[in-house]
Amino acid sequence: QIQDLTFLIKNYCLTELYLNHNELTDVSGALKHLCALQILFLHNNQLQKLVETVKELKGKISLHTLNLFHNPLAQDADYRLYVIHALPSVQLLDRKAVTQRERESALHLYNRERSCVVQPIAFGKRVSTVLGPPLGSGRARAQPDRRVTAPSGWKSGNHTKKVPFENAEDAGLVRAMTRSVMEFSCFDWNKVATCQERRLENKVEEPLEKMTIQFR
């Protein structure tokens, strides 16, 4: 029936703390100094403020096991994703392992800007290509009602003798079509272990699969 945590003021070196099945309503200011905490059980209490409770646990890079179920705060919408995003070191939340998919969902939900930056990281280059149908099916040509045909003997490249076009506009369009193709290569960065994961050996590195996409 513990209701406050004032007795923890001098216990800086605690690594495990079991406070489940009590009458706690707030933990603000009581756990922030426990930097070595690895396991924390707070289930079956009366904790109501999700943001304040999670804020108290932020910065604990050793905290890997956390229980908060059977508290009023656990009824909040997206409760689990919020905790996963705010406390990235937690690997076991409410007796259930945190998955990579949940981490990605949490990042997309609570840090959309960073999610948009991380996902499209790729290496791009301009590609020379012969005139042909446009890549993809979502966009039309610049001039869909007119078919441009390169004269025989015309090839792209800087060292090929060019055969003149009858129409100067055709020459400009062909050049634009051949030079506007971009090629991007990227891989799934979620499969690359971070420095901390390599040091702790918490993640097995998977072989990277490079994906290459061309678009105009």
Q: Is residue 170 part of a domain?
A: no
Residue 1 lies in a domain: no
Lowest mean pLDDT among 33-47, 63-77, 116-130: 116-130
pTM of the entire predicted model: 0.54
Last residue within a domain, chosen from 86, 111, 136: 111
Q: What is the pLDDT averaged over residues 92-96?
A: 94
- Tell whether 168 is covered by a domain: no
Question: pLDDT digit string (tens) for 140-183?
Answer: 344 444 555 555 555 555 545 555 667 777 777 776 666 666 77
What's the confidence (pLDDT) of residue 148?
A: 52
Pair of tokens at residue 96 = 């259930």
What integer is the mean pLDDT of 185-192?
70
Q: What is the DSSP letter of 190?
A: G
Assess if residue 128 is contained within a domain. no
Q: Does residue 77 lie in a domain region?
A: yes
Closest to 176 (Cα-Cα) out of 216, 124, 125, 133: 216
92, 111, 130 - which closes a domain: 111
Looking only at the bridges linking them, the beta strands covering 92-93 and 96-97 are antiparallel
- Give the model's pLDDT for residue 122: 54
Q: Would you state the pLDDT for residue 149?
A: 56
The reported pLDDT for the residue numbered 29 is 87
102 within a domain of the structure (yes/no):
yes
Q: Are residue 19 and residue 103 in the same domain, yes or no?
A: yes
Q: Is residue 160 part of a domain?
A: no
DSSP three-state, residue 140 = coil
Q: Are residues 184 and 105 in the same domain?
A: no
Query: pLDDT category, 20, cuts 50, 70, 90?
Result: very high
Residue pair 183/125 in contact (Cβ under 8 Å)? The answer is yes
| 87 or 6: which leads in pLDDT | 87
Both tokens of 188, joined, read 């799934």
Does any domain span residue 59? yes
Listed residues 89, 111, 133: the one ending a domain? 111
* 209 vs 179, residue with greater confidence: 209
For the chain, give the mean pLDDT.
76
Q: Are 10 and 91 in a shared domain?
A: yes
Q: What is the CATH classification number for the domain harbouring 27?
A: 3.80.10.10
Total domains, the chain: 2
Domain span at 30: 6-111
In tens, the pLDDT along 105-114 reads 888 888 766 6
